[in-house]
Structure 1
Amino acid sequence: MNRLENKVAVVLGGAKGIGLAISQRFANEAATTWFTSRRDEELAAASSKMSGTFRPLRADVSQQTELTRIMQTISASTDQIDVLVINAGMADYATIDEINPSHFDQIFDINVRAPVFALQAALPLLKPGASVVLIGSIADVIGTPGYGVYGASKAALRSFARTWTRELSTRGIRVNVVAPGPVDTDMMAAASDEMRAEIIKAIPLGRMGKPEEIANVALFLASDESRYIAGAEICIDGGLTQV
């Protein structure tokens, strides 16, 4: 059974890593899937790996005018969005001694400000029954040296999910958070063998997650199977923050 048949999905930051896995899964589940990236080459590479009905869009989701353009483009072909996944984000290392305004502003602009205005731009197209999935991180509940601003940005996103659930429940729109732990993406592949070993040692299941496993949970939250789940955060971390 195709769990997203006749649905329209939008994945902001959906051309690589976790975002690409989500885009692929949604398209495979019969959703018309729009996905974004700032880079044409990433969109082309992602499109070559996808099947089903998909629509790549080049856009910088950190810019409010670009978010407006994305929604105008989508509304030209459909009058509704059934699933909105906000995945675009960034992390950068800086200890409290090293944090400067540029570091802080860049992370909060992409990880916090952009999701706020992305959801705002999408609201006219989100109909009763729509699902909003925010890609957070277990960094919102753990302290990782050098990633304080990143963790705070993900904690802010988690807080917004609670508020937006209250505000949008009367419109029949659900908001939930997927919080991955360490995932074996290109970023993790660049880590040293020693660092990877230390990370894996801390995970009860003894391995990193796979992008496809994050996509599985995003699919569940996007589908009607989760229609009584709202305001929740689902951690996918092999037990790292749970035991």
Structure 2
Amino acid sequence: MAETDSKPERYVRPPSAESLGEAPGRGRLKGRRILIVGGGQRVFDAATDPIGNGRAMSILCAREGAKVAVADLNRTSAQQTVKHITDEGGEGFAITADVTSEPDVQRMIEEAHRAMGGLDGMVLNIGTFGKTGLDAVSPEEWNRIYDVNVRGPMLCCRAAMPKFDNGGAIVFISSIAALKAGSQMAAYDSSKAALGGLMRNIAHLGSRRGIRANLVYPGLVDTPNGREAGAGRPSRGKGHVPFGRQATAWEIAYAVLFFLSDESVYVTAQTLAVDSGLSGM
């Protein structure tokens, strides 16, 4: 009697304490003053929404000893992130800003600098999506997406760098969509790809003062935005992801922490894909 062929169960990478946001801080950013641009998060279902990237980054930086200024277009969302920080005994400040407005960006930087007494690091977690397919995207929508995703980070860097102490760090948040076609959102994908060129220029300019600039490419991440993007696609983050699951926002936040901390003091103009190898296999 022939043996029955059976496929082994798909391996799923177990989450660590860091993956779940349960690991204690270790003082890796003690005394630092960090601005997280895009530190709030959208709410789809308050009862079931996982934590988003910007909120996880903000909370983690505070756990690691930093003062954190949380900037977001939605003031209530920024305040909610700050409440998470202060409830854990950290120090946080909420700022409202529209990154497409140059005066708003300048005010945001001034407020963060004043509230924290300086600026040592900035995370640019900025992004907006668009429609799928070239025919569906008007020139006006294309420009709007680039205004947020590329021009916004440029304005932030231009306003913040003169305020930075020597030896600061800037982290850009891009997307695996910059590396792999698949989302069918040409404006979003190409705008996120453009961040790589901006990051390298900022790294070059900042090198004269020891200011480092690096970039993180998140892969498929289980966030409120990720769930909204994957609505109607139950296979998202399962079958075609090497580790058999989506990332958590905390896993993205730890990559950002590395680039902000002294562990990467000799690292600049580099990129890191946090995608379980999806972009490289």
Q: TM-score, normalised by structure 2?
A: 0.82
Pair 1:239 & 2:277 matched: yes
Matching residue's letter, 1:22: M
Looking at structure 2, the residues matched to 214 and 30 of structure 1 have their Cα atoms a distance apart, in angstroms, of 18
Q: What whole-Å deviation, never above 9, does each CA across 1:44-82 have from its counterpart, x for those lacking one?
A: 322332230111111212211111111222333455311
Looking at structure 1, the residues matched to 224 and 178 of structure 2 have their Cα atoms a distance apart, in angstroms, of 22
Report if the CA contact (8 A) 2:183-2:189 is conserved.
Answer: no
Report if the CA contact (8 A) 2:252-2:274 is conserved.
Answer: yes
Q: What whole-Å deviation, never above 9, does each CA across 1:188-210 have from its counterpart, x for those lacking one?
A: 22356751314421110010000
Aligned to 1:97: 135
Unaligned runs of 5+ in 2: 1-25, 42-51
Aligned to 2:251: 213
Looking at structure 1, the residues matched to 143 and 137 of structure 2 have their Cα atoms a distance apart, in angstroms, of 10
Unaligned runs of 5+ in 1: none
Matching residue's letter, 2:225: M
Looking at structure 2, the residues matched to 192 and 215 of structure 1 have their Cα atoms a distance apart, in angstroms, of 21
Aligned to 1:25: 60
- The correspondence for 1:74, drawn from 112, 119, 125, is 112
Superposition deviation, residue 175 in structure 1? 0.3
Higher relative helix content:
1
- What secondary structure, in the 3-state scheme, does the structure 2 residue paired with 1:157 have? helix
Report if the CA contact (8 A) 1:10-1:35 is conserved.
Answer: yes
Give the alignment's Cα RMSD to 1 decimal: 1.6
Q: How does 1:84-233 map to 2 (within 5 A)?
A: 84-190=122-228, 195-233=233-271
- The correspondence for 2:36, drawn from 8, 11, 14, is 11
- The correspondence for 2:77, drawn from 22, 42, 65, is 42
Larger Rg computed on CA atoms: 2
Q: TM-score, normalised by structure 1?
A: 0.95
Report if the CA contact (8 A) 2:142-2:187 is conserved.
Answer: yes
Q: Percent identity?
A: 30
Number of matched residues? Answer: 243
Looking at structure 2, the residues matched to 75 and 13 of structure 1 have their Cα atoms a distance apart, in angstroms, of 17
